[in-house]
Structure 1
């Protein structure tokens, strides 16, 4: 399908969208003219952004092309994306307490600004892990277990976590692994930091 042209305003966007939908359905301008009652000349002008058109005309075009009226405008004026993608196995390995023996921390996204909003980690622990570090940090932490079984401490309480289990807690209360029950252990840890007051 032809990608709608966002550079020339709404008329160009509508024109390339209509042409793309028409070609995808293998319809000629004559076919669409017959379905809509709109002249071939007018359809050509619409597709080539040589005229503005009414909502009634657009509605007839949408029906003839088998889409809703909103579909014709779906991607118009949508902000440019800016997603950050980290491919499998390419998360930056970071050093934290416990990483020297059986613990690895892969950072899965990197903040690109002056304020750190969150940090998502993929954490791996093996039966070589002997040192169980205790952490404290601002914000909230969310843990989601992927593999293995662990006893995890938060303050005075401990929780047994297995695959599919999650735990959410305040980061400023001492927390960390208490006991490795079934290795290897893989879990996601997402730290959400408080936003600074403006």
Structure 2
């Protein structure tokens, strides 16, 4: 899936006759970073991916969708596949499983996410338009929201405006599993 996302970004950029430099100007992201994304050397977190989607005039799900929309969309546990891995501090830190893939007219991005222990020390903050809701299924996660940090355990949830700088990371040596729903206004 990750290779497909980089290829899709390049295809949308080229269809609009934009250079990497043009896309960099629209997103505020470095040209080297964008080149690495397109060539699958580096996979962005959701913040930069959202900036790329907005700069290209598409919704985030455009990079994730492989099929025509279904209603209602049912995702069975045994059919759920890992779609992408996002990196924290240069190592794999998050494994994303889209729960909305196949519903092309969606306005939310629901995910089951494995938050790996490699994210423990990453306190890099991101911000973007929209809202996020997270429910911890297992393990422990730390959520930095602005200058405030909270530790959530299984059954705990958090709902926040994504424009405020934030970070989600694993606490401890065991991976955490979360359900997250992200909303990005049009």
Identify the TM-score tier after normalising by the shorter chain.
Answer: 0.5 to 0.7
3-state SS of 1:164 partner: coil
3-state SS of 2:86 partner: coil
Which residue of 94, 114, 119 corresponds with 1:124?
Answer: 114
In structure 2, stretches of 5+ residues that fail to align are 1-69
3-state SS of 1:134 partner: coil
Give the conservation status (yes or no) of the 8 Å contact 1:91–1:108: no
Distance 1:109 1:137 in 2: 20
Cα drift, residue 182 of structure 1: 5.6
Query: What is the aligned partner in structure 1 of residue 183 from structure 2?
Result: 192
Distance 1:191 1:151 in 2: 18
Q: Please give the TM-score of this superposition, normalised by the length of structure 2.
A: 0.52
In structure 1, stretches of 5+ residues that fail to align are 1-80
Change (3 A) 1:92 1:179: closer
Query: What is the aligned partner in structure 2 of residue 181 from structure 1?
Result: 172
Root-mean-square deviation (Å): 2.5
Cα drift, residue 117 of structure 1: 0.7
Distance 1:178 1:92 in 2: 19
Cα drift, residue 164 of structure 1: 0.6
Match status 1:104 vs 2:95: yes
Q: Deviations over 1:65-121 (max 9, x none)?
A: xxxxxxxxxxxxxxxx821122215245124343842421111112413xx511011
3-state SS of 1:136 partner: coil
Moved over 3 A (4+): 128-131
Cα drift, residue 174 of structure 1: 1.3
Give the conservation status (yes or no) of the 8 Å contact 1:148–1:182: no
Change (3 A) 1:161 1:177: same
Q: Please give the TM-score of this superposition, normalised by the length of structure 1.
A: 0.49
